[in-house]
């Protein structure tokens, strides 16, 4: 049945405790789903620490959702979660799992109020500040207000860090699981007393340190071999540009191979996590390739030289699905997306929506949304998430993410 209900989700509704009758299922399912990874959870400074406390967690992939309940056992927790979960599971179930609704990369004071309310109920409150799964196994942009958030919550601060989660389910191929050992650590970063004597800047720095990871470095340090014959399938979604000819949008992947449709160069994803040019055997580190793409994407944003540089405005044909509430997606048909130096402009039917760069830290990317809808980006307001799917081959979510992050930092004079 077609859904046309654009009524916004009620973000003001207070969270509830996880339904007690759900908890055996949550813990049992989490245990079963993580056995294949030989999950090991280490706790540091947690002895005697009782809720409420704030848990700030890394967000490498889907396995994170199963690790957190096990790490926090026997405590029930409240999770800040993307709106999509309410549409997938239904409002009653998702609230019963302890979830607070949030739209990614949108500031909303109601989320903070609900987090504080959950803490007053005596609950651990879990937040994933990266707000998306890792593109290439390294930490995504971390918001610069976490120090302020920690002080505002006024409860102990705990870091939940995971290693191996991305390697098991890389974002560009999450439906295909690799057998990898996963390690998690739950560490008390600040007691309430320590928090009150620390500055926001110090807290921010320590939180960012606790969230830092590099999955390919972890793979090399542990000597992990990923022998899956299809281990490279999907990696072209993150590595969309050829290292040899620099052509973009022409990369494809299959089995263990990433190859360029422009110059014909092929790269093998080795068992120990390098991309090796099959012709000359030169090896590339995947996160370095990714950052090389970012550098070129930002260079191509402008024409000319300072102070006469001109931003290259872009326009894309797209199809649009909206997610305003838990009732599901609304098909809005086709439209246009324009990228200017100041904002994204979305136009469809007789509607024009503007998404200024200065208030959005990053751009939500999806590489294979729900395994059937393909690549897209998501731009959100407080009332609705807009899933934007390309109608042309020059629309690449990773590239738009690079540009969106840069323009946010430029507008806010942030140096990364």
Cα(125)–Cα(118) distance, rounded to whole angstroms? Answer: 7
* 3-class SS string, 189-222: EECHHHHHCCCHHHHHHHHHHHHCCEHHHHHHHH
> What is the arithmetic mean of pLDDT over 167-189?
95
> What is the arithmetic mean of pLDDT over 261-273?
97
DSSP 251-293: EEEETTEEEETTT--EEEE-TTSEEEETTT--EEEHHHHHHHH
Question: Which tokens in the block code for residue 160?
Answer: 């939940």
Residue with tokens 């803490």: 119
Residue 11: CA atoms inside 13 Å, Cβ hemisphere, count?
22
Cα(137)–Cα(133) distance, rounded to whole angstroms? Answer: 9
On whether the CB atoms of residues 406 and 341 are closer than 8 A, the answer is: no
Digit-coded pLDDT (tens) for 281-300: 999 999 999 999 999 999 99
Digit-coded pLDDT (tens) for 87-120: 888 999 999 999 999 999 998 999 999 999 999 9
Please say if the pLDDT value at position 47 is more than 80.
yes
Cα(401)–Cα(344) distance, rounded to whole angstroms? Answer: 12
> What is the arithmetic mean of pLDDT over 251-269?
98
Cα(226)–Cα(146) distance, rounded to whole angstroms? Answer: 35
Digit-coded pLDDT (tens) for 335-387: 999 999 999 999 999 999 999 999 999 999 999 887 667 899 999 999 999 99
Cα(129)–Cα(367) distance, rounded to whole angstroms? Answer: 20
pLDDT at 414: 52
DSSP 147-197: HHHHHHHTS-EEEEEEESHHHHS-GGGTTS------EEEEEEEE-HHHHHT
pLDDT at 368: 86
The percentage of the chain sitting over the pLDDT mark of 70, rounded to a whole number, equals: 98
Residue 325: CA atoms inside 13 Å, Cβ hemisphere, count?
11
pLDDT at 415: 47
Please say if the pLDDT value at position 413 is more than 80.
no
Mean of pLDDT over the chain: 94
Residue 311 backbone phi and psi in degrees, to 5: -70, 135
Taking the CB of residue 226, how many other CB atoms lie within 10 A of it?
A: 19
- Domain regions of the chain by residue span: 23-222, 235-271+273-299, 313-411
Q: How far is CA 113 from the centre of its chain?
A: 23
* Four-point Cα dihedral 324, 325, 327, 328, nearest 10: 50
- β-partners of residue 158 are 55, 188
pLDDT at 339: 97
pLDDT at 416: 42
The model's pTM = 0.94
Q: State the sign of the Cα–Cα–Cα–Cα dihedral 239, 243, 246, 247.
A: negative
CATH of domain 313-411: 2.30.29.30
pLDDT at 43: 97
Of 157, 184, 158, the closest CA to residue 63 belongs to 184
- Give the list of residues 6+ apart from residue 295 with CB closer than 8 angstroms, or none: none
3-class DSSP state of 24 = helix
Of 213, 210, 238, the closest CA to residue 401 belongs to 238
Digit-coded pLDDT (tens) for 217-230: 999 999 999 999 99
């Amino acid at each position: 049945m077609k859904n046309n209900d654009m009524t916004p989700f009620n973000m003001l509704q207070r969270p509830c405790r996880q339904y007690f009758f759900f908890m055996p299922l949550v813990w049992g399912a989490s245990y079963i789903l993580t056995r294949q990874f030989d999950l090991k959870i280490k706790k540091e400074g947690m002895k005697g620490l009782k809720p409420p406390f704030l848990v700030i967690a890394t967000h490498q992939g889907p396995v994170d959702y199963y690790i957190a309940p096990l790490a926090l056992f026997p405590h029930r927790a409240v999770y800040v979660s993307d709106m999509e979960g309410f549409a997938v599971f239904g409002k009653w179930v998702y609230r019963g799992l302890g979830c607070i609704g949030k739209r990614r990369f949108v500031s909303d004071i109601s989320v903070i109020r609900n987090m504080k309310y959950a803490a007053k109920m005596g609950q651990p409150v879990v937040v994933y500040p990266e707000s998306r799964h890792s593109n290439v196994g390294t930490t995504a942009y971390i918001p610069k207000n976490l120090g302020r958030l920690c002080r505002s919550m006024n409860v102990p601060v705990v870091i939940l860090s995971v290693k191996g989660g991305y390697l098991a389910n890389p974002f560009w191929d999450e439906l295909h699981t690799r057998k990898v050992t996963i390690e998690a650590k739950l560490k008390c970063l600040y007691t309430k007393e320590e928090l009150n004597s620390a500055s926001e800047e110090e807290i921010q720095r320590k939180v960012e340190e606790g969230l830092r990871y590099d999955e390919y470095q972890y793979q090399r340090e542990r000597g992990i071999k990923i022998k899956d014959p299809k281990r490279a399938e999907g990696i072209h979604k993150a590595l969309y540009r050829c290292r040899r000819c620099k052509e973009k949008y022409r990369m494809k992947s299959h089995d263990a191979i990433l190859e360029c449709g422009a110059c014909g160069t092929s790269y093998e994803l080795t068992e120990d996590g390098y991309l090796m040019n099959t012709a000359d055997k030169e090896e590339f580190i995947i996160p370095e390739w990714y950052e090389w793409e970012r550098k070129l994407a930002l260079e191509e944003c402008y024409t000319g030289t300072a102070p006469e540089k001109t931003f290259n405005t872009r326009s894309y044909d797209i199809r649009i699905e909206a997610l305003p509430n838990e009732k599901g997606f609304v098909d809005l048909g086709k439209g246009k997306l324009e990228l200017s130096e100041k904002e994204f402009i979305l136009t469809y039917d007789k509607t024009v929506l503007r998404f200024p760069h200065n208030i959005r830290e990053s751009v939500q990317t999806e590489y294979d949304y729900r395994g059937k809808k393909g690549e897209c980006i998501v731009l959100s307001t407080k009332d609705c998430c807009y899933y934007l799917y390309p109608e042309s081959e020059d629309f690449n979510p990773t590239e738009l993410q690079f540009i969106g992050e840069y323009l946010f930092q430029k507008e806010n004079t942030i140096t990364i």
